[in-house]
Structure 1
Amino acid sequence: MIVPGVLSFSHALVRQAVDEGGIAIDATAGNGHDTQFLAECVGPAGKVYAFDIQQEALARTKQRLNEQGIANRVALIHAGHHEMDRHLPEEIRGKLQAVMFNLGYLPHGDPTIITRPETTLPALKTSAVWLAPGGVLSVVLYTGHPGGQEEAEHVLQWAQSLSSQTFQVMHYRLLNRKQAPSLVLVEKRKSAA
């Protein structure tokens, strides 16, 4: 396929920003796909912090990581992403190479437990501060569930308000598929240090 799907495009772009031994965050662990991807990117010397408010999501993620033999690279944190600054070690501030958000609800979980603008926006703001120069923040937006369109609009407004002196922002979406997921990618400029 010439046109990559949103998730594969997100992974391709994030992979370019993460080095072996790097530090990354999965802000919405879910079923652990992004957590596993980030753990593979950072390698044995790196660290991934994965957040989720649902114990079920963390259990699924832990099982996935154990099956791959990479659980020791990941700290699973039972907390909302809006609380990440309370759970992350201060010494990694400004050193994050990637932060990934996959908004919406836990697939095969309770669809009434969703990410919301009032917690997502503070988490995005914290993530932008904690990014290293050259680091990226990826946000996959889903609009096909109740509350999804509103959250997507808030995220896009926030992303558009970021200083072009400090950040480069991209919005990738399919134009001919109604309610298709889209991707917001924020890169902290290397000269922004």
Structure 2
Amino acid sequence: MSDILLHRVLPFSKRLISETVLPGETVVDATAGNGNDTLFLAELVGEEGRVFAIDIQQAALEATANRLDKLNDRVSLILDSHENVDTYVKKPIGGAMFNLGYLPYSEDLSIITKPDSTIEAVNKLLGMLKKGGIITISVYDGHEGGKEERDALLDYVKSLHQADVHVVRYELLNQRKNPPFLIAIEKVRDFDEVVHVEE
């Protein structure tokens, strides 16, 4: 175990997921990207588990497949928007991960995650999530459209009922300009439909 307690956002996200997801469970990488989180999840759930990795770009799924190598048989690669996750995932999940923004090293950086589809995906995944499970969302807001998604997502998670979920925002304050921050949502009681609280 590392001596560092306050990890950067991406390692901390993996640490949270690794403490809640069990071998054999179903999990979701809602933004496959270049496959880093998908590979991590595939290793975590083991031979009996299943990972659903979703992305709207074929290039992302190809990069993910190449990264997975021999673990491809544990993963379903889905070319679609993550808001349609319930079309593919039909059983409870142990956890889910998001990395918002654009596909790193892509030729078209204008293809980004959007507030409405991201919130819809989180909403659906919360209904599927096991009690005690966690959804991690790494938020990048330094690109065009990033601030709008950030603000909409923060409004959404702040409205979630505290009896249903615990929500935290984790960030390192002395990092480079526009560093990512993490939103982690832990499901503390069973529910199928998300309840929102009015301000």
Q: In which range does the TM-score fall when normalised by the shorter chain?
A: over 0.9
Name the count of aligned residue pairs. Answer: 186
Shift of 1:87: 2.0
List gaps (5 residues or longer) in structure 1.
none
User: Does the alignment pair 1:79 with 2:76?
Assistant: no
User: Does the alignment pair 1:47 with 2:50?
Assistant: yes
CA distance in 2, matches of 1:157, 1:41: 31
User: Does the alignment pair 1:29 with 2:29?
Assistant: no
List gaps (5 residues or longer) in structure 2.
192-199
Of Structure 1 and Structure 2, the greater helix share is in 1
Q: 2:130–2:190: 8 Å Cα contact kept in structure 1?
A: no
TM-score (normalizing by structure 2): 0.90
Q: Deviations over 1:150-191 (max 9, x none)?
A: 1111111111111110101110012234311000000101x4
**How big is the alpha-carbon RMSD for the aligned residues of Structure 1 and Structure 2?**
1.1
Select 1:108's aligned residue among 105, 110, 119.
105
TM-score (normalizing by structure 1): 0.93
1:8 aligns to what SS in structure 2?
A: helix
Percent identical pairs in the alignment equals 42
Shift of 1:3: 2.6
CA distance in 2, matches of 1:74, 1:192: 26
1:70-149 equivalences under 5 Å are: 70-88=71-89, 90=90, 92=91, 95-109=92-106, 110-149=108-147
Shift of 1:2: 4.5
CA distance in 2, matches of 1:174, 1:19: 28
CA distance in 2, matches of 1:108, 1:38: 22
Select 2:22's aligned residue among 19, 22, 41.
19
Give the aligned partner of residue 57 of structure 1.
60
2:103 aligns to what SS in structure 1?
A: coil
Q: 2:166–2:185: 8 Å Cα contact kept in structure 1?
A: yes
Q: Deviations over 1:134-162 (max 9, x none)?
A: 11100000011001111111111111111
User: Does the alignment pair 1:187 with 2:182?
Assistant: no
Give the aligned partner of residue 8 of structure 1.
11
